[in-house]
Structure 1
Amino acid sequence: MALQGNLEDFDLTDVLQLIHLGKKNGALEIETEKNRAEIYFENGKVVYAKTNESVGEDAIQYVLRWSKGKFMFSPEKTAPQKVMNIPIQNLILDAAKQIDEWKRLEKVIPSIDMLVDFVEEPNVSSEEINLSPDEWKILSLITGEKSIRDIAKLAKFTEFNAAKVFYGLISSGLVRLKKPPEKKEASVEKKEEKKEPKRRRGFFRRG
């Protein structure tokens, strides 16, 4: 019998465990109304995963938060590349630890696709600011036109770790979120008039 079903009827962690215990080779394809994921296995271990936006462990962590969608396992499919070789139990344990934390982060960061910019006049003095190396790295990449997801990739952070850093920076009143612009084809004139975004890092001092 083919391994397929609906996430409303089957817990995704149980499906992944079944593939792992059976030491299966192939791809688990999961589809929702707005997203799609593929998780590739070799001998029951995850070797590659992707969604519409994420790749690797970020994709796994994201998919494990889905509660709706259809899934199907295709044993004939092979991974386009191998970026990991991790027992699924490790990924499930990590995801379980992060689910509650994500709920807390999402109260401040509803989507990692939102743009980030500096607060023009932070309600805090520069003497009060003592930033960590991770926070400085994140701040150095803010242009006002990049999303949290973009900056996570540039900083080589997981999306979860980047979101944690941004949670602190936003809660401290140093940076703010902006809605991304609607996707429209920019005219040639707008492209020519586009200016380099301003960076306002002079306010901060290294601690």
Structure 2
Amino acid sequence: MALQGSLSELSLPDVIQLVSVSGKSGAFHLVKGEEQGKIFLKDGQIIDAFIGNLRGETAVYEMAIWSSGDFSFEPGETSAEVTVQRSNANLMMEAARRLDEWRVLSRRIPSLDLVPFFSPREGQDQVTLSPQEWILVTHVDGHRSIEDVATILRWSAFDVSKLLFGMITSGLVGLREPQEEQGGGGFQAGPSPITLLGLAEKIRTVAIDVVGPGGEKTIEKQYGGACTSIEQGGDLGVIREMVTQNSKAISLLKGAEVAAMFDEQVRPLLGGIDEGSS
């Protein structure tokens, strides 16, 4: 009979430890709502894992923070892939650390079903965000849940929540229940004008660095136009257009290779805006 139980009664690191010391081979099946994942062991050592778009160690860590759900262990089930190289001890130490950190994060983010939205920040200065935070904010639209955003970005929900935690603490982002209707409640679907202006400034800096002497005037003109459009209510479409026009100008001034360099450098800032908005 397969080993099975509830993660609300026994954490995944404890369950894996129990099986690994016996040197068994097989697969853990984990289910939480609609989410399903597997962790494969060979002679007691974790060799592969997956859940959704995540694979390997990241998948192990993602499932290790689950505080609810069910598990079962099927002896003899194997995987042809080896995506995990770290020892069980190192994996479980990191999983335990993340579990402790998740308990802190969950004080402000009690559920991954919550929907992040931008809080109005009238009269405040432009925000300073890391490249990963910029990528994240381009996917916060006031409709997608935290889980949805993580899936689109192919990031772990833990990593998304960790970034959101800081934004929530600073007042940039709020959370609402999925069933709450937007409109009249202080929700802001897309990035705030301040956030968009900050993103435009970063793109301007990259463009000027790439184009070098002689091209600053063109870049500044496009930056000024983008800022005006944002202040008049423009959305992420203004940022897309700014990038497109900058790329065209750089191509004319410096050639296609330099324009491609610009595109490559701004891509992390945009974080797949077009993909996320489709």
> By the TM > 0.5 criterion, same fold?
yes
Q: Which residue of 2 aligns with 1:99?
A: 99
Cα deviations by residue, 1:72-99 (Å, 9 ceiling, x for unpaired): 4222323486654443222211121122
After superposition, the Cα gap between the structure-2 partners of 1:173 and 1:80, relative to the gap in structure 1 and judged at 3 Å, is farther
> What residue in structure 2 maps to residue 46 of structure 1?
47
Q: Which amino acid aligns with 2:109?
A: I
The residue number in structure 2 matching 1:174 is 172
Counterpart for residue 135 of structure 1? 133
Structure with more contact order per residue of length (Cα contacts < 8 Å, sep ≥ 6): 1
What is the Cα deviation at residue 172 of structure 1? 1.3
Q: How many residues align?
A: 188
**Alpha-carbon offset, residue 203 of structure 1:** 1.6
- The 8 Å contact of residues 41 and 48 in structure 1, kept in 2 or not, is answered as no
CA distance in 1, matches of 2:34, 2:191: 36
- The Cα RMSD (Å) is 3.5
Aligned partner letter, 2:61: Q
Q: Which amino acid aligns with 2:102?
A: W
Structure 1: stretches of 5+ with no match in the other structure: 183-196
Q: Indicate conservation of the 8 Å contact 1:65/1:99, yes or no.
A: yes
TM-score by length of 2: 0.54
CA contact (8 A) 2:58 2:156 kept: yes
Encode CA deviations 1:35-64: one digit per residue, 9 max, x unaligned. 7653222342230243xx674445533543
Structure 2 distance, partners of 1:69, 1:164, is 22
* Distance in 2 separating the partners of 1:169 and 1:46: 35
From the two aligned structures, give the one with the greater helix fraction. Answer: 2
Aligned identity (percent) is: 28
Match of 1:149 among 147, 150, 171: 147
| Cα distance, 1:75–1:93 mapped onto 2, change above 3 Å | same
Q: Is the 8 Å Cα contact of residues 117 and 175 (structure 1) preserved in structure 2?
A: yes
For residue 200 of structure 1, what is the aligned residue in structure 2? 191
Q: Which amino acid aligns with 1:147?
A: S
Where in structure 2 are the equivalents of 1:53-72 lying within 5 Å? 55-56=54-55, 57=57, 59-65=59-65, 71-72=71-72
Give the Cα–Cα distance (whole angstroms) in 1 for the partners of residues 106 and 58 of structure 2: 16
Q: 1:70 to 1:159 in 2, by over 3 A?
A: closer
Q: Which runs of 5+ in 2 are unaligned?
A: 181-187, 203-278
Indicate if the aligned counterparts of 2:116 and 2:174 stay in contact, CA closer than 8 A: yes
Q: 3-state DSSP class of the match of 1:100?
A: helix
Question: Structure 1 residues 58, 139: closer, same or farther in 2, change over 3 A?
Answer: same
Check 1:147–1:58 CA distance in 2 against 1; reply closer, same or farther (3 A cut): farther
